[in-house]
Amino acid sequence: MKIPRIMSTQHPDCANMPSWAKGEMFTNGEEVEEVLNAFKLGCEEQLWDWEGKDVDSHVIRKLFLLDKNFFEKNILGKDVFITYRIPNPDVEKTERKMIVEALESIARSADVAKEFYGKEQTPIFEVALPMTTSHLQLLRVSSFYEKIVVGKQDIMVHPEIENFSIKNWLGKVMPQEIGIIPLVEDVHSIFKIREILKKFIHFKKPKYLRPWLARSDTALNYGLASAVLMIKYALSEIYQTQQETGVLQYPIIGVGSLPFRGHLSPDNIDNFLEEYSGFQTFTFQSALKYDFDKKDIKKTIKKIENRKLKKCSVSKEEMKQVSKIIEIFSKNYRQNVASMHEVINHVSKHIPNRRMRKLHIGLFGYSREFSKGVHLPRAINFTGSLYSIGVPPEILGMRSLVEIEKSGFMETLSKNYINIKGDLEFALSYFSSESLEKLNRTKLLTNKAIALIKKDMEVIKDFYNLTEFNTSKEEKHELLVKSITSNLGKNKPIKEYIVEAAKIRRSLG
Residue 442 — pLDDT band, cuts 50, 70, 90?
A: confident
Assess whether 340 and 295 both reside in one domain: no
- Is residue 454 a part of any domain in this protein? yes
* Euclidean distance between CA atoms 498 and 76, whole angstroms: 39
* Euclidean distance between CA atoms 437 and 450, whole angstroms: 8
- What pLDDT score does 361 carry? 42
Assess whether 244 and 322 both reside in one domain: no
Residue 314 has pLDDT above 90, yes or no: no
- Of 155-164, 325-334, 416-425, the one with minimum mean pLDDT is 155-164
Residue 92 has pLDDT above 50, yes or no: yes
* Euclidean distance between CA atoms 427 and 464, whole angstroms: 13
- What pLDDT score does 86 carry? 95
Residue 36 has pLDDT above 50, yes or no: yes
- Is residue 199 a part of any domain in this protein? yes
* Euclidean distance between CA atoms 208 and 276, whole angstroms: 20
Domain boundary residue among 273, 306, 339? Answer: 306
- What pLDDT score does 162 carry? 67
Assess whether 79 and 224 both reside in one domain: yes
Assess whether 296 and 379 both reside in one domain: no
Look over the chain and give the mean of its residue pLDDT values, rounded to a whole number: 92
Domain count, the chain: 2
Amino acid identity for residue 380 in this structure? I
Q: How many CA atoms does the CB half-sphere of 11 hold within 13 Å?
A: 28
Containing structural domain, residue 133: 6-306
- Is residue 445 a part of any domain in this protein? yes
Residue 360 has pLDDT above 50, yes or no: no
Domain boundary residue among 237, 271, 306? Answer: 306
Assess whether 249 and 389 both reside in one domain: no
**What pLDDT digit, counting tens, does each position of 293-310 carry?**
999 999 999 999 999 888
Residue 261 has pLDDT above 80, yes or no: yes
Assess whether 298 and 360 both reside in one domain: no
Assess whether 185 and 328 both reside in one domain: no
- Is residue 1 a part of any domain in this protein? no
CA separation (Å) from 119 to 33, 83, 104, 116? 25, 21, 20, 8
Helix axes 316-348, 215-222, angle to 10 degrees: 80
Helix axes 447-464, 420-428, angle to 10 degrees: 130
Residue 372 — pLDDT band, cuts 50, 70, 90?
A: low
Residue 93 has pLDDT above 80, yes or no: no
Assess whether 262 and 367 both reside in one domain: no
Assess whether 200 and 122 both reside in one domain: yes
- Is residue 219 a part of any domain in this protein? yes
Helix axes 447-464, 433-441, angle to 10 degrees: 170
- Is residue 311 a part of any domain in this protein? no
* Euclidean distance between CA atoms 389 and 435, whole angstroms: 7
**What pLDDT digit, counting tens, does each position of 157-201 carry?**
666 666 677 777 778 889 999 999 999 998 899 999 999 999 999
Whether the full predicted model's pTM is greater than 0.85, yes or no, is yes
Assess whether 245 and 380 both reside in one domain: no
Assess whether 230 and 179 both reside in one domain: yes
**What pLDDT digit, counting tens, does each position of 226-245 carry?**
999 999 999 999 999 999 99
Q: What is the CATH number of the domain that holds 104?
A: 3.20.20.60
Helix axes 472-487, 433-441, angle to 10 degrees: 0
Domain boundary residue among 272, 306, 340? Answer: 306
- The three state secondary structure string of 343-384 is HHHHHHCCCCCCECCCCCCCCCCCCEEEECCEEECCHHHHHH
Assess whether 152 and 261 both reside in one domain: yes
- Is residue 362 a part of any domain in this protein? yes
- Is residue 342 a part of any domain in this protein? yes
